[in-house]
Amino acid sequence: MVFDPEQVKFGYAKSETLPRYCRECAYLKDCWGECPKNRLLRDPHGEPGLNYLCAGFKRFFAHARRGADALAAKITAAPAAEPTIGAGAVR
């Protein structure tokens, strides 16, 4: 069923029918225009296919990215942990 031609066509359409506004979006790899059933608007360039929830997605991704960047910085700055095997630490 997953490889049914109609299903495959639908899957590719999700990324191949994105309007320019999405293709140039900083959050493209997080969002991919979300579900095609919600792509009801025209983008600022006049292309159809913009998700009507776009403004909310952008606010969410901007908020989430700040937290993710801060977490990544803490992990990068932390000293490397000693490897462990099973439930106990190897000493």
**Residues at the interface with ligand SF4 (CB under 6 A):** 21-22, 25, 27-28, 31, 33-34, 51, 54, 57-58
Which residues, in sequence order, are CB contacts of 53 under 8 Å at separation 6+? 34, 38
Burial of 24 (0-12, 13-18, 19+ CB in 10 A): exposed
Minimum CB separation from ligand SF4 for residue 4, in Å?
A: 27
Closest CA to 39 of 53, 25, 50: 50
Nearer to ligand SF4, 57 or 84 (CB): 57
Minimum CB separation from ligand SF4 for residue 89, in Å?
A: 43
Phi and psi at residue 88, in whole multiples of 5°?
-105, 155
Nearer to ligand SF4, 55 or 80 (CB): 55
Minimum CB separation from ligand SF4 for residue 10, in Å?
A: 18
